[in-house]
Amino acid sequence: MARCTKKTKGIMKKAYPLKHLIERWAGRYVSKDDVIVAAYIHPKISGKYPLFNIDSRLVEPSRKRLQNISEAFTQDQNERHDSKDYTTKEQ
């Protein structure tokens, strides 16, 4: 997911389907553990899956982030990607 410049105040009250958003964006399966590890190593993310301190105003990441990832778009998950799930797009 793209970084947001605003810092959130605390742990999310509502669980967002982050795993599924990531899968639909990247076009392939992502395990829950993949999401947990990615959040753990990110310096600004805290909380426990699925209640991370991620702003509810989600930013749709640029597809350019996936350019050098050969496994991206190798499964049909991307067919369900919907830009309406995001508030803004990454520039």
pLDDT digits (tens, 9 = 90+) for 25-49: 999 999 999 999 999 999 999 999 9
5 occurs within a structural domain: no
4 occurs within a structural domain: no
- Count how many domains the chain has: 1
Tell me which amino acid residue 17 is: P
- Give strand pairing partners of 89: 60
User: Is residue 71 a contact partner of residue 28, using CB atoms and an 8 Å limit?
Assistant: yes
Could you tell me the two tokens for 80?
């369900």
- Give strand pairing partners of 47: 52
Q: Residue 42: give the domain boundaries.
A: 18-89
The pTM for the full model equals 0.78
pLDDT digits (tens, 9 = 90+) for 1-23: 454 545 555 555 666 688 999 99
70 occurs within a structural domain: yes
For residue 7, the model assigns a pLDDT of 55
